[in-house]
Chains A and B, each alone.
Chain A
Amino acid sequence: MTTAVFPLFVAIPLGTAFLIPVVARRRKGLADGLANFATLALFAAGLAVMVLGTRGVYAIGGWRPPFGIVWSLDGLGILMLVIVNLVSFAATFFSIRYMEGYTGHAKYYSLFLLMVAGMNGVVITGDLFNLFVFLEIASFASYALVAFGCEHEELEASFKYLVLGSIGSTLVLFGIALIYGTTGYLTMASISEAIRGGGKPLVLVLATTFFFAGFGIKAALVPFHPWLPDAHPSAPAPISAMLSGVLIKALGIYALARVFFNVIGMDRLTSIVLVTVGGLSMTVGVLLAVGQWDLKRLLAYHSISQMGYVVLGVGFGGYLISTGGNAAAASLSILGGIFHLANHSVFKSLLFLCAGFIERATGTRQLKEMGGLFSRMPLTRAATTIAALSIAGVPPFNGFWSKLLIVFAAFQAGYLGLALMTIAVSFVTLISFLKVLRYAFLGSLPDALREVHESPPLMIVPLGLLAVLCIGMGLLLVPAVREVVLDPAVAALVNGGVYARTVLAAFAGE
């Protein structure tokens, strides 16, 4: 496959997003069909690109860098692309029945696909300003989707999210302006080459700070997190799954990792900040989650905590690389971080879809008002249990392996405190999910919930898909599979400078 397929990842969702309101405004079935077809096609294309190992660079309009915009995919980009499109397919499939209670399906799918287009664009682009534009497309669609129900809570959450999100985007734009003013480039590869040549002037430090705060807000890392526990639960369930499952990763973590590792370059101070913030998110998130009684809010706090794991893993790897520490532990730590990112998007979207089921069936999100649902909803219970055990890191589910890798890496590098903290947080996570399972599914069935019944079979399909992935994703660590899926992604971050050289080498002969 040539790199000419890259534009499809943005063109398909963008085209369908505008097609649906035109042709399917009055026909819900057509809107469902089109949206599902688009996300399925994207997922298939992502898998094909990964399996065939299509790498490389696509210059838009034939303008080579640094003059034009280039789009490029490396191991990390491909992994993100597959995750994003997998979760969006599961979410659109789930939406078919779930969104029956809402009006405006055409608008819903339109915004949904715009969000997907934005995320795919962020992942695939190799141009800093282009990244900002896609970042805004995705955030913008998500602001509107959070407010989709148009009730008190939803509007309030959306406004909060919009204000913080816009501040984040503006900070990112300021960072881009500073970088452009210093280097005169917008292509990430050219910037990276220009920066690596010289030292680190003050302007770059300022730009790094802006990027950190901007992407940190999008990723809801701890000092920037207050919008997330409001925004994620307020959205409809498939959107919560998308926001927690992939949006904070594509716009926050991925962009942060790409800019810090491949463009500006990791140094000791940046990586220490990343490790600190990661550790802080991990502990604060989980401690806030334990006391929650609102099911979706509890899940949202766990997203903050699990994002802490990812940032900790990746940041710790960066720390070891930049200080010349144990190289094997560094790759192991980054592998753990990236693998946890992939795992989290699967089990967290599964948890949010299950929570959507439960909310729809019982009409409440309060754990105290539930109970005894195991007899009424056996399939949902099975899926929730699998996802809960995955997020808590119980073997053999996927979350266990990625957390194990991070703990191993910390041990290997001799940072016992970090390893113990990771284990402790994992333990608290387990407690909090035992609470969920206990209050929602065990105990006696309240009289109000006598009539509750399992959701329609069509909605079970995406749950089954994600649950199977939760059980099976540990297999990604089998060496033969790992070489295709995870190792290229790790290599992209470990050898930060290779990205720039690869992109520029593609055009060197012209």
Chain B
Amino acid sequence: MIYSLCFVLFVIGLYCALTKKNTVKIVIGLSIMEYGVNLFFVLVGYRRRGGAPIIGKADSLTQFLSQAVDPLPQALVLTSIVIGLGVTALSLSLCIRLYEKYGTFDITEMRRLKG
């Protein structure tokens, strides 16, 4: 159930990126897509009432495995967030340069390339 909500978020982002005319809104759409996927990734490793994945000297391995959440997706999501930040920064700087050149954020008015 909650997984499908992530998918809904992803689709909203995709819709926004594909249909909006304002370049900044397109970038926002891309970020929403990213967040949808990131949330999904974290949820994959989530466990209800799970503990932190740190093994103490006294813990037995089976007990640890039955309680701890999966730490790997969190590490992956951190990486993916950093990549997402880079993409957002680059795309926003492109938006600014485009605004300097064309004097608008509207992509329908940036039409020098065709064919």
Contact = CB atoms under 8 A, between A and B. Distances in A.
B101 A152 contact: yes
Contacts of A230: 113
A151 B101 CA distance: 8
Given A166-B30, A174-B37, A150 B44 contact: no
Nearest to A135: B83
Interface hub of A150, A158, A177 (most chain B Cβ within 10 A): A177
A230 to B, nearest CB: 5
Given A150-B97, A155-B97, A163-B17, A177 B102 contact: no
B52 to A, nearest CB: 19
A177 B34 CA distance: 12
A68 to B, nearest CB: 11
Contacts of A167: 14, 17, 30, 33
A156 B91 CA distance: 11
A140 to B, nearest CB: 6
Contacts, number: 86
Contact of B113 (A129, A156, A162, A173): A156
Contact of B41 (A143, A144, A177): A177
Interface hub of A132, A133, A155, A181 (most chain B Cβ within 10 A): A155
Contact size range, A: 35 or more
A229 interface: yes
A167 B30 CA distance: 7
A152 B115 contact: no
B79 to A, nearest CB: 6
B91 A162 contact: yes
B110 A297 contact: no
Interface in B61-105: 72-73, 76, 79-80, 83, 86-87, 90-91, 94-95, 97-98, 101-102
Given A140-B87, A162-B90, A163-B26, A156 B44 contact: no
B83 A133 contact: yes
A160 B110 CA distance: 11
Interface string B19-44: 00001001000100110010011001
Interface in A111-159: 129, 132-133, 136, 140, 143-144, 147, 150-153, 155-159
A147 B30 CA distance: 19
B23 A152 contact: no
Nearest to A174: B37
A174 B10 contact: yes
B113 A153 contact: yes
B115 A294 contact: yes
Interface hub of B10, B26, B97 (most chain A Cβ within 10 A): B97
Contacts of A181: 44
A152 B9 CA distance: 33
Nearest to A160: B113
Those 6 A-B pairs whose CB atoms lie nearest each other, nearest first = A181-B44, A177-B41, A230-B113, A170-B33, A174-B37, A136-B83
17 contacts: A140-B86, A152-B110, A152-B112, A156-B110, A156-B112, A158-B94, A162-B90, A163-B91, A166-B30, A170-B33, A170-B34, A173-B41, A177-B37, A177-B41, A177-B44, A181-B44, A186-B72
Interface of B: 10, 14, 17, 23, 26, 30, 33-34, 37, 40-41, 44, 72-73, 76, 79-80, 83, 86-87, 90-91, 94-95, 97-98, 101-102, 107, 110, 112-113, 115
